[in-house]
Chain A
């Protein structure tokens, strides 16, 4: 097991790494969907034996719309690595990581349920948290929170998310 598995993985992936971000001591490597499984296997061989988390982010309306995020942990070297794949909003598909970690099974089902991203090669891709006949993918940004307004007299906000409105994003 290498001492610096992050550097080992970055070195092994070479040009497949599209972007490398370091923030607050954490390293994020972006790869493309074709190189994803290879990158995950490289990482697993370098000591990142835990698939700690598998999730997605919806960047709507920016394109590519989705980012599928894999968080890996190497307990012996005490290192964490984040691997990301950018996925477009139209027909989002990513290869399934269940071949590398069986524990990705439910995590990918959850991403499919809440975001609508399909995982090719998943043994049993169906909804897990929402009812089976639910329509829509709740964690997408264009799916509303569906807040029930409460009648108030005066100018108080009717729904909780209106109490403090969102400020515009700012780059630091």
Chain B
């Protein structure tokens, strides 16, 4: 038997492939069904965000973040706006912070629903896909109510929010969140004790904690291996230090643990959102600093200074001090950070997007080594990548 020569079969998966969750190309070396080696080729969605953002003002750049990670759009906006506010050294009013937390957690729920739906349909549980998108539509209705847009909102602004909440928002969100645990129970009833789901995900795509740390993984894939790192806990931002929530951790680092973590994260997001709704204060939603925010319209009639501020802000934009900051938030995929370098002009010198999916995807060849081809689908689904985030 040892005299037989072995040849590996090189198979290409993607970039157009139903299970790669986007335009990802995998080159697999197969010995039969077993993967002897693999390589992920990315760049099929490279959009030049970072260079594009260097040619616009800080306010014009608000358009780009939701298009980078298009599943958790409010969280992405929160990341960028938090970084600019840190650079300016301002904090938004309390009401704006609390509203941001509510919308960010709803965004996390919406993102995890897409993850669950697409992972399930990869493993041929297509009814879960339909149910998840049914719930996601309710969340998108809330987003549309607030900002006018289902996905690319532009609602979080530097210094606060675009405008205040519409009437009926709190009741609408409470109505959704009250019914949501029943929905998560439905999904868990369909999947968690399902023998096929367990056999496909337990022990598959195992990542040791050491590998996870050394490869720079963050988010559920890191917590699935048991490493307790959540940006909301480690470096609290936007008022997260005041909310009570648990951060679920896994033990075995396999795909099933990551699934359990994300289901629990949806429950915890609901918990945070309900707490935030309860402590929603009154007050303005935009900071009062005239160098950052436009003056209210009625002042333009009375005050010359207001007119000058308006003119300067619209024709030139804000001028943050020279320096660099890094601000991170916890996106559904991991640590999403914005590294801004300013030279005091109205455009950033460098906008670096620390993309969690980029670092997480590096670990894919480790996850699928010596596994079967069918496990590749489960591995990619359990990492939960967004190709816009990977390629930027």
- Genuine A/B complex: yes
- Taking Cβ atoms with an 8 Å cutoff, the residues of A that contact B are 23-24, 26, 28, 49-53, 55, 57-59, 69, 71, 73, 75, 78, 80, 82, 101-107, 110, 114, 127-131, 138-139, 143, 145, 160-161, 163-164, 166-172
Q: Are A169 and B362 in contact, CB atoms less than 8 angstroms apart?
A: no
Cβ–Cβ contact B345 & A168, under 8 A: yes
Evaluate contact between A172 and B214: CB separation under 8 angstroms. no
Q: Does B202 contact A (CB under 8 A)?
A: no
Query: Out of B43, B337, B341, which one reaches A53, CB within 8 Å?
Result: B337
A145 CA to B52 CA, complexed, in Å? 7
CB distance from A93 to the nearest CB of B (A): 21
A50 touches B46 (CB 8 A): no
Complex Cα spacing A53 to B83, Å: 15
Decide: B345 and A169 in contact? CB cutoff 8 A.
yes
Determine whether B50 belongs to the interface, using a CB cutoff of 8 Å to chain A: yes
With A24-B89, A53-B352 known as contacts, the answer to whether A170 contacts B339 (CB < 8 A) is: no
With A128-B43, A160-B56 as contacts: A107 and B48 at CB distance below 8 Å: no
Asked if B203 is an interface residue, CB under 8 A from chain A, the answer is no
Task: Say which residue of B50, B57, B335 sits within 8 Å of A164 (CB atoms).
Answer: B57
The verdict on A164 contacting B346 (CB below 8 Å), with A102-B214, A106-B359 known, is yes
Q: Is B181 in contact with chain A by the CB < 8 A criterion?
A: no
- CA A159 to CA B170, docked complex, whole Å: 42
Contact pick for A166, options B216, B315, B324, B347, CB 8 Å: B347
Question: What are some 29 contacts across the A-B interface (CB < 8 A)?
Answer: A52-B337, A55-B339, A59-B349, A69-B339, A71-B337, A71-B339, A73-B234, A75-B228, A75-B234, A78-B235, A82-B324, A102-B214, A103-B362, A105-B362, A107-B359, A114-B50, A128-B43, A129-B391, A145-B48, A145-B55, A163-B60, A164-B57, A167-B346, A167-B347, A169-B322, A169-B343, A170-B344, A170-B345, A172-B322
Contact A80 B214 (CB under 8 A): no
**A128–B316 CB distance below 8 A:** no
B residues engaging A (CB < 8 A)? 42-43, 46, 48, 50-52, 55-57, 60, 86-87, 89, 213-218, 227-229, 234-235, 315-317, 319, 321-326, 328, 335, 337, 339, 341, 343-347, 349-350, 352, 354, 358-359, 361-362, 391-392
What chain B residues lie within 8 Å of A75 (beta carbons)? 227-229, 234
Would B362 and A106 count as touching, CB distance under 8 A?
Answer: yes
Contacts of A51 in B (CB 8 A): 216
CA distance A169 to B156 in the complex (A): 26
CB-CB under 8 A from A164, the residues of chain B are 56-57, 60, 315-317, 346
Of all chain A residues, the one with the shortest Cβ separation from B59 is A164
Complex interface: chain B residues within 8 A of A168 (CB) = 345
Q: Which of B43, B218, B325, B392 contacts A130 (CB 8 A)?
A: B43
Determine how close the nearest CB of chain B comes to the CB of A54; give it in whole angstroms: 9
Q: Which of A24, A110, A138, A170 contacts B319 (CB 8 A)?
A: A170
Q: Verify B216–A172 contact, CB threshold 8 A.
A: no
**B-side contacts of A161, CB under 8 Å:** 55-56
B46-A129 in contact (CB<8A)? yes
Contact between chains at A103 and B354 (CB < 8 Å):
no
Q: Smallest Cβ distance from A23 to chain B, in angstroms?
A: 4
Write out the residue numbers on chain B whose beta carbons fall within 8 Å of the beta carbon of A163. Answer: 60
Known pairs A24-B89, A170-B345. 6 more at Cβ < 8 A? A78-B235, A80-B326, A103-B214, A107-B216, A107-B358, A164-B57
Bound CA–CA A51/B392 (angstroms): 20
